Structure 1
Amino acid sequence: MKPSLRKSSWLLPLCALSATCTPAHRSVAEVPEGATPLRRVARIVREYPHSTDAFTQGLVFHQGHLFESTGHEGTLRQLSFDSAEPVWMEELGDIFTEGLASDGERLYQLTWTEGLLFTWSGMPPRRERTTRYEGDGWGLCYWEGKLVRSDGSSTLTFHAPEDFRPLGTVEVTLQGQPVDQLNELECANGVIYANVWHTSEVLEIDPHTGHVVAVIDASELTRAVAPQLRSNEAVLNGIAVEPGTGRMFMTGKLWPKLFEVRLEPAPGEN
């Protein structure tokens, strides 16, 4: 279980750190506060084996390979599409590791309550440094030179990769209302994908405003593995988009399958 949630209210909004609040580039449509988001459905394209001892906390492509961060007895793993057994794994002992992000050169791995960020480099990865930070670590992704962290609240915090100092925050809202329990993150396609803990929903978030621009129903995946699950904590928690191809993959904690998915408009959406 996660501890009680808390927000970092002392941080400045992201826009307040620059001369203007107008971003240089927007790759998602401007969505007014309170607007109805698009509705999408994640459809299974292909299934791959996934280890049922992997308490998945982070999933990301790095230098052409798929990596996973797992919790409880923490690990960093390089995955294979052919076998549930990892190609490579580093065991981290009694550390609850969480979100995982790549800037193309390094991997960054959060911890839940230990306040430690592990930075990995090389192939296979070696731990380059450990950085301390304040607050919980849930999800992590890399966007436009910044690391984006979730902590279970409705707030996303932006950090400098080199020392993880906070650069600002944005509050995630759906039709004007804050959305908490934000967990695993993936920055791709101009949005931040965030799964909502203990649900089968993935949000598409505008990084500039925090507005939810689309809601993805991934319940088809949950139904596909439900007969094989033995824990209430075996929930959706893993999103990765492959650079170059745009293929999207999703999995969950203790799930026997890793899914390649395709996003389609929900029934009734134009």
Structure 2
Amino acid sequence: MRKSSWVLSLYALGASCAPAHRAVPEVQEGLTPQRRVARIVREYPHSTEAFTQGLVFHQGRLYESTGHQGTLRQLSFDKAEPVWLEPLGNIFTEGLASDGERLYQLTWTEGLLYTWRGDPPKRERTTRYAGDGWGLCYWEGKLVRSDGSSTLTFHAPEDFRPLGTVEVTLQGQPMDQLNELECANGVIYANVWHSSEVLEIDPNTGHVVAVIDASELTRNVAPQLRSTEAVLNGIAVEPGTGRMFMTGKLWPKLFEVRLEPAN
């Protein structure tokens, strides 16, 4: 599905301690970002047929966008089968975001944004846009889109017109392969495709302020995976509680995680 995999190792970065939830610190470009680890708090079942591309809480429920034979689905914490599912045929759907009233769902190369509203969600409109769609999240009245490059693009929710861009850099180096996004806790969390790292990005500057090692999750499910594309992808933070959840494409588990400073 993607271009070349992300090859820059992040394990050589220096360690620094900070609380898991905080305001974005003042970061000067070139300084070493903080390092965190994602620790498993609890495990939930997840469908091994779900090629997870987007994960988000919306009106108290957890929704997922899946690729290949695209779907929008509401997840259950009790069983792998979704509570509700809308099939989208041969459309390769990707990132998913919520503004509290509507759900917004990207497509990979079709250049279509689906806007959903209601309970269960009904498709309200389809909007065309230029470029690839990978990840999507909602930040301060704007939709933030990744496209596999080091650039994040900000869009107006009502018509998806571009409002600006920011380049994501780690110690001055552009960071591409940014996949699923989650806007929460004052940062943009971004999965890095084909890796077990999640970046914390300052949405104002694009600077990577922290790197999260989520390899504990990938080690947990590795014996059950049957595809090289079954990689970490899917981040959702529950409004109100701050609980964080992560999963992956074709993974048998959805994890509640806690972020801790790396030793």
Query: TM-score range with shorter-chain normalisation?
Result: over 0.9
Distance 1:100 1:181 in 2: 17
Match of 1:35 in 2: 31
Q: What secondary structure sits across from 2:159 in the alignment?
A: coil
Q: What secondary structure sits across from 1:255 in the alignment?
A: coil
Match of 2:196 in 1: 200
The answer to whether residue 104 in structure 2 is matched with residue 105 in structure 1 is no
Match of 1:176 in 2: 172
- Given the alignment, which residue of 228, 234, 243 partners 1:247? 243
Distance 1:4 1:188 in 2: 28
Distance 1:134 1:40 in 2: 35
Distance 1:33 1:219 in 2: 26
Q: What secondary structure sits across from 2:203 in the alignment?
A: coil
Alignment CA distance shift 1:54-1:109 (3 Å): same
- Residue identity matched to 1:80: S
- Given the alignment, which residue of 206, 211, 216 partners 1:210? 206
Match of 1:237 in 2: 233
Q: What secondary structure sits across from 2:221 in the alignment?
A: helix
- Residue identity matched to 2:202: D
Distance 2:99 2:26 in 1: 26
Q: What is the percentage of aligned positions where both structures have the same residue?
A: 89
Cα displacement (A) at 1:3: 5.1
- Given the alignment, which residue of 244, 249, 257 partners 1:261? 257
Match of 1:122 in 2: 118
- Residue identity matched to 2:102: R
CA-to-partner distance for each residue in 1:153-212, whole Å, 9 max, x for gaps? 000000000000000000000001000000000000000000100000000000000000
Match of 1:80 in 2: 76
Cα displacement (A) at 1:30: 1.3
Distance 1:216 1:28 in 2: 15
- Residue identity matched to 2:72: L
Cα displacement (A) at 1:2: 1.8
Distance 1:248 1:3 in 2: 28
Q: What secondary structure sits across from 2:217 in the alignment?
A: helix
- Given the alignment, which residue of 45, 59, 62 partners 1:63? 59
Match of 2:155 in 1: 159
Distance 1:72 1:125 in 2: 21
Distance 1:141 1:33 in 2: 24
Distance 1:3 1:38 in 2: 28
TM-score (norm 1): 0.90
- Residue identity matched to 2:2: K
Cα displacement (A) at 1:123: 0.5
Q: What secondary structure sits across from 1:136 in the alignment?
A: coil
Distance 2:67 2:124 in 1: 20
Q: What secondary structure sits across from 1:138 in the alignment?
A: coil
- Given the alignment, which residue of 85, 95, 98 partners 1:89? 85
Match of 1:2 in 2: 2
Match of 1:19 in 2: none
Distance 1:257 1:219 in 2: 14
- Residue identity matched to 1:32: Q
Cα displacement (A) at 1:27: 3.5
- Residue identity matched to 1:155: T
TM-score (norm 2): 0.93
Match of 1:147 in 2: 143
CA-to-partner distance for each residue in 1:40-89, whole Å, 9 max, x for gaps? 00000000000000000000000000000000000000000000000000
Match of 2:19 in 1: none
